[in-house]
Structure 1
Amino acid sequence: MKASSVRGTAVLTGLALALASGCAGSSDAGSRVGSQTGAPSPSIPVVASTNVYGDIVRQIGGGKVKVVSIISDPAQDPHSYEASTQNRLELSKAKVVVENGGGYDDFVDRMLHSAKNSSPAVIDAVQVSGKAPNAGGEFNEHIWYDLPAMGKLADRVAAALARTAPADAATFRHNATTFKDKLSALESKERQVKAAHAGTAVAVSEPVPLYMTGAMGLRNKTPADFSQAVEEGGDVSAQSLQRTLALFTGKQVKALIYNKQTSGPPTEKVKAAAEDNGVPVVPVTETLPQSEDYIGWMAANVGAIRSALDR
């Protein structure tokens, strides 16, 4: 949303509408809202590691933030991302930085350590969630599929923005509350799935959706060595692949939840086995699809899983 250069009553009307729409901003360019004196108030520069967190920040900051999401391309793998000069420049100007953490987007920390600027408020979603690896176990860093964790993140983002722009603290808190109310409605839908399908076995191509499926009470029967190898880009052993394929040929699972952003011969074989045996395939992604917001995206994922289980 950009301020218009009109006069008289139109200016006052435009400012009133802008102030009334705390969550209306949706572009990375952010927006500028006039202050009580009529002078434009500067937007808070925020950098997010992915467009998932960029969208959440925009929902809380509204027109008072200018958000740059480093990764927004569905084809880009954050695990292997290499920072650009433009990324470093944006981070040098940021007042708030939101990263996933947990080893998912280490490129952010590397850039921050080399930045000349800078002391932005850094929000690590994994740390905010309070989750940690099990002793000796792998950690599922796809924390944005955990709705309660995103509620905690919303509060932390609101607090960080409020420290940067204290006069707008009430707006940030209000927007965070609105966002959390929407999350609560989604959590209720997850509980409905759990009530209908708790204990149902499913398979995944990699661990991306497991926080969501866990909240639904679903059992993941995928061999751990298969999903971990796929996530890490390693070789899938013949034995692991055969055990995974048997889940579908033996009708041991009710659905395959498939990360469509990463694929290779093993995952394509698994997807084909599911389809050939009449097992529904539910596609999910790691980054936010274009023209969607976080709430709508997660709602679509919950609905797609529910539809697959109801077949």
Structure 2
Amino acid sequence: MRVVRTAGVIVSGLSLAAFGLAACGNDDTGNTGTGAQAETAVTVVASTNVWADIARHVGGDAVTIETLISDPAIDPHHYESTPSDVATVQDASLVVFNGGGYDQFVQDILESTTPAPRSVNAYEILVNHGTVHHDDDHHDDDHHDEDGHGAGEGEHGATEQHESGSEADHHHDEGDDHGAEGAHGAGGHEDADGHGHGHGHDHSGANEHVWYDFHIVSDVAHAIARELSELDPDNADTYQANADETAERIEELEDRAGEVRETTEGIDVAQTEPLTEYLLEELGITDIAPFEFTTAVEHGTDPSAAVTAQFTDLLTDGSAQALIYNAQTESPTTQQMRTIAAENDVPVIEVTESLPAGMDYFEWMHSILDEFERVLSEV
């Protein structure tokens, strides 16, 4: 099966043209729709425009942001780096990437580079989350191990991170990134009610779509601030203040999710791909899609006829109260599921993996929350 990556419609109903982001390549603006940025001594290279935007919020005008993949038609899971990508990563002051196999090409470049530049791996922060203390003092050295740059890690604190994280980062390729029981939605973690301020999950075998976990995004922002502060001590206070402000805006998202949860809690949905697991958990929603179906779609293969029939039944018998549709990864099978949903009056909520043009991360997430509330309030 050939999976077609499309510049899909975001949940707020914007047209396909809204995803007319620039093609993959090195982009000093980070392609986050924020205008030109002056080149600075500190260069942050991000794997995708989502993490570029978080880095921009933390670094502000003191850093230059470059994005490796900003075209929503490019799937980071299967992307192969170019010589230009390799040079860009190797020349970076700091590399911010998703990890967990999502953008494995970045991990591969870092592992082949000696010495490797500093890096922040969002997935590693996720899987180490249960051992990380979440207090307000992000200057404390005890927090430094969140992103793998603790004591004794070499000049840049990156080499051991890559070695110790390589096995975890291949979870996606091994097909077990949802845990032994195929964790979906509210049932995917043991502490659904505790998600938010100071939440703690069992993230073993975690889903790699980390940017849909609000609290982890806050942690990533503070990890970026710590790295930038070491690279550029003169602006350390600015980086810390920006990270704190980012965390405050994350808290606003969590508060908004709490409001939406009053409408959405207890609803069953079916995702075409396991993209929004953490958001569903935040909203008290359970994904009842067959694990084998979502895994096959994510890996670009055809689900079996039996599993496809199971997914179809969820839409035709009323078990799934909505279809959560990844509009950037489409295939004949997922398009068929969307058609079946429409024929059975099952509402469709479109979600994406890339920032829409003209939006930052917070605007994007607020639009998604608004759409979940609007659609699911009518089921």
TM-score normalized by structure 2?
Answer: 0.70
Contact residue 33 and residue 359 of structure 2 kept, 8 A? no
RMSD: 1.8
Structure 2, unaligned runs of 5 or more: 1-31, 130-167, 169-176, 182-204
Contact residue 91 and residue 115 of structure 1 kept, 8 A? no
d(CA) in 1 for partners of 2:36, 2:79: 23
Partner of 2:15: none
Contact residue 28 and residue 67 of structure 1 kept, 8 A? no
- The one-letter code of the counterpart of 2:51 is Y
Secondary structure of 2:329's counterpart equals coil
Partner of 1:31: 38
Secondary structure of 1:234's counterpart equals coil
Deviation at 1:114, TM superposition (A): 3.0
- The percent identity for this pair of structures is 36
Secondary structure of 2:74's counterpart equals coil
For the pair 1:66 / 2:133, whether they are aligned, the reply is: no
- The one-letter code of the counterpart of 2:244 is T
For the pair 1:259 / 2:256, whether they are aligned, the reply is: no
Deviation at 1:199, TM superposition (A): 1.2
For the pair 1:307 / 2:371, whether they are aligned, the reply is: no
d(CA) in 2 for partners of 1:109, 1:60: 22
Contact residue 100 and residue 126 of structure 1 kept, 8 A? yes
d(CA) in 2 for partners of 1:223, 1:245: 10
d(CA) in 1 for partners of 2:178, 2:209: 15
d(CA) in 2 for partners of 1:184, 1:121: 27
- The one-letter code of the counterpart of 2:282 is A
d(CA) in 2 for partners of 1:134, 1:205: 14
d(CA) in 1 for partners of 2:67, 2:38: 16
For the pair 1:128 / 2:125, whether they are aligned, the reply is: yes
Contact residue 125 and residue 220 of structure 2 kept, 8 A? yes
For the pair 1:102 / 2:100, whether they are aligned, the reply is: yes
d(CA) in 2 for partners of 1:199, 1:135: 22
d(CA) in 2 for partners of 1:154, 1:43: 20
Partner of 2:186: none
d(CA) in 2 for partners of 1:29, 1:96: 20
Secondary structure of 2:102's counterpart equals coil
d(CA) in 2 for partners of 1:28, 1:163: 27
Q: Structure 1 residue runs of 4+, over 6 Å off?
A: none
For the pair 1:296 / 2:363, whether they are aligned, the reply is: yes
Deviation at 1:27, TM superposition (A): 5.0
How many pairs were matched up? Answer: 277
Range with bigger deviation, 130-139 or 210-219: 130-139
Contact residue 261 and residue 283 of structure 2 kept, 8 A? yes
Deviation at 1:93, TM superposition (A): 1.3
- The one-letter code of the counterpart of 1:303 is D
Contact residue 48 and residue 70 of structure 2 kept, 8 A? yes
Q: Write 1 or 2 for the structure with the bigger share of helix.
A: 1
d(CA) in 2 for partners of 1:294, 1:135: 27
1:119-154 deviation digits (Å, cap 9, x = unpaired): 321111011123585764554100100000001111
- The one-letter code of the counterpart of 1:120 is P
Out of 270, 285, 290, the residue aligned to residue 223 of structure 1 is: 290
For the pair 1:114 / 2:121, whether they are aligned, the reply is: no
d(CA) in 1 for partners of 2:116, 2:110: 9
d(CA) in 2 for partners of 1:27, 1:114: 33
TM-score normalized by structure 1?
Answer: 0.84
Partner of 1:187: 254
Higher RCO (CA-CA < 8 Å; seq separation 6+): 2
